[in-house]
Amino acid sequence: MSKQVFPLMQRREVTTIISTTKVIARVGSTDSDIGGTQYTSRDFKSHPRYRRATFDYDIGYIRFEAILIDGVNTAIVTLAENGAPIRSGTILTVSGWGATEEDGSVSENLMAVQVPVVSNARCRQSYNTITPRMICAGEPEGGRDSCGGDSGGPAVTNERVQFGIVSNGIGCARPGIPGVYTNVASLRDWIRHITSREPSLPPFYYVNDGNDNRIVGGYNTTIQEHPYQAFLLIVQGNALFQCAGSILNHRYILTAAHCIQGASKITARIGSTFANSGGMQYTSRYFRAHPFYNPMIIDYDVAYLRTMLRMELDGVNTKAIALPPSGTPVAPGTILTVSGWGATSENGNVANNLMEVRVPVVSTEQCRKSYRTITERMVCAGVPEGGEDSCGGDSGGPAVSNDVLTGIVSFGIGCARPGVPGVYTNVSSVRNWIKRNTGI
């Protein structure tokens, strides 16, 4: 049938069978060769009791630094509880990109097949060694089965609980010979022991950064309309934070200081309308916030990151943004175009498609009616009746006027509330610092 989309247990572990020096996992794609996101790992272990001769304890895990979970194309699998029984006749859905027939070619498109569980006693008529760590499943007449290339993949019940891992078999879909799967419930304690060494994360790649900034009241747009836009995935300890940024040149991206606090690594995706796929990804471990950044009042909320590799800018999907001269005033009523992949409503889910919204600048005096401290390093923008705003997940992203980066999404109270504008870092007020540190 197929080869497998790795089922995600936590953001950092994947159950599968290990026999290599490096693993590359593609998640979030129906196609085995393109789309989604790829992750590389050299940190993996098989069960200490695994026996290749009998395929007993045929389970392993792979640890990744981070995996994007959007709840749509990528989600965390639910595992069977320790010792949970699975009855003969239970239907298991097995999915993957393996061969569609014995000795056949593997599939590029994700495939799925449903097979009934058979008793271990019945299975022992086909195999010499069937242990409590195994489940067998298949049709008596054959014709439906997992096959070469599916190994390590999931076998889930109709309730989407993973009970099995594709393990071994004699041929593919032969009459009277079921496939053999690792019994997840029998090894649940080992899985829990391995994966509980680090705290689990919620099943979404977005973790609120505490400043509540995302696109609300906007509409879908494309990267061609905003080729300077960058999606940032920020690793902070065991957490992942979503922010945005603006491309300055082939090596530098501008973002908000609050986005990089405590960060150990930042991955930037550029050139794509989508947060989860397409474009190009660049890694940075070198980033700096403004030395005067004050997290208490979110003053001087600006930072830059330098990518390890030179970014390819084609002028269509990827392009540097122009910056204003130092001290350029921003008049009330100026329309700012704000773009990003943040949530589309307060407490809502983040967007996968790039969004944009247009909001007018309001005076500092008006903004101070909503916020105690508004400094010269801040610009406020929003419509009096609410309904249009940035919101959480857009932090660090661009607010543009006449193709010039006027503001950086910084903070706000809620999202698109009437009479409460969003707050943006005033780029012209920190222009000299940007020039000194990036040469731009």
pLDDT in tens, 18-35: 445 788 899 888 998 888
Reported as a pLDDT band with limits 50, 70 and 90, residue 346 is very low
Tokens encoding 343: 């949530």
Lowest mean pLDDT among 89-93, 105-109, 110-114: 105-109
Q: Give pLDDT, residue 207.
A: 35
Query: Pick the residue with more confidence: 245 or 358?
Result: 245
Lowest mean pLDDT among 241-245, 353-357, 411-415: 411-415
Q: Given a cut of 50, is residue 117 above it in pLDDT?
A: yes
Q: Give pLDDT, residue 216.
A: 47
State the average pLDDT for the chain. 85
Residue 311: HSE in the Cβ half-sphere, 13 Å Cα cutoff: 33
Q: Which residues are catalytic?
A: 258, 301, 395
Reported as a pLDDT band with limits 50, 70 and 90, residue 152 is very high
**C-alpha to C-alpha distances, 109 to 34, 92, 96, 200, 399, nearest whole angstrom:** 10, 20, 8, 31, 40
Indicate the Cα dihedral angle 95, 97, 99, 100, nearest 10°: 60
Q: Give pLDDT, residue 39.
A: 82
- Tell me: the pLDDT tens digits for 256-274? 999 999 899 999 999 999 9
Mean local confidence (pLDDT), 70-85: 83
CA nearest neighbour of 422 among 218, 214, 259, 244? 214
Query: Pick the residue with more confidence: 212 or 68?
Result: 68
Can you name the residues that pair with 357 across neighbouring β-strands?
338
CA nearest neighbour of 244 among 217, 211, 219, 218? 211
Report yes or no: 336 and 361 within 8 Å, Cβ to Cβ.
yes
Report yes or no: 354 and 221 within 8 Å, Cβ to Cβ.
yes
Q: What is the full DSSP assignment across 283-305? A: EE-EEEE-TT-BTTTTBT--EEE
CA nearest neighbour of 408 among 247, 255, 211, 232? 255
Q: Give pLDDT, residue 9.
A: 39
What is the rounded distance in angstroms from the CA atom of residue 343 to the CA atom of residue 353? 11
Q: Given a cut of 50, is residue 123 above it in pLDDT?
A: yes
Tokens encoding 289: 């916030």
Can you name the residues that pair with 270 across neighbouring β-strands?
230, 280
Reported as a pLDDT band with limits 50, 70 and 90, residue 416 is low
Lowest mean pLDDT among 56-70, 111-125, 383-397: 383-397
Q: Give pLDDT, residue 399.
A: 97
Q: Given a cut of 70, is residue 171 above it in pLDDT?
A: yes
Query: Pick the residue with more confidence: 72 or 209?
Result: 72
Q: Give pLDDT, residue 72.
A: 66
Mean local confidence (pLDDT), 328-345: 87
What is the rounded distance in angstroms from the CA atom of residue 208 to the CA atom of residue 214? 10
Tokens encoding 380: 């406020």
CA nearest neighbour of 194 among 400, 29, 15? 15
- Tell me: the pLDDT tens digits for 124-150? 999 989 999 999 999 999 999 999 899
Lowest mean pLDDT among 16-20, 147-151, 173-177: 16-20
Q: Given a cut of 50, is residue 437 above it in pLDDT?
A: yes
Q: Given a cut of 70, is residue 51 above it in pLDDT?
A: yes
Q: Give pLDDT, residue 179.
A: 96
Report yes or no: 13 and 56 within 8 Å, Cβ to Cβ.
no
In 56-170, DSSP assigns E strands to: 60-63, 78-79, 91-96, 111-118, 134-137, 154-156, 161-168
Residue 344: HSE in the Cβ half-sphere, 13 Å Cα cutoff: 11
Q: Give pLDDT, residue 195.
A: 72
Q: Give pLDDT, residue 212.
A: 37
- Tell me: the pLDDT tens digits for 199-208? 333 333 333 3
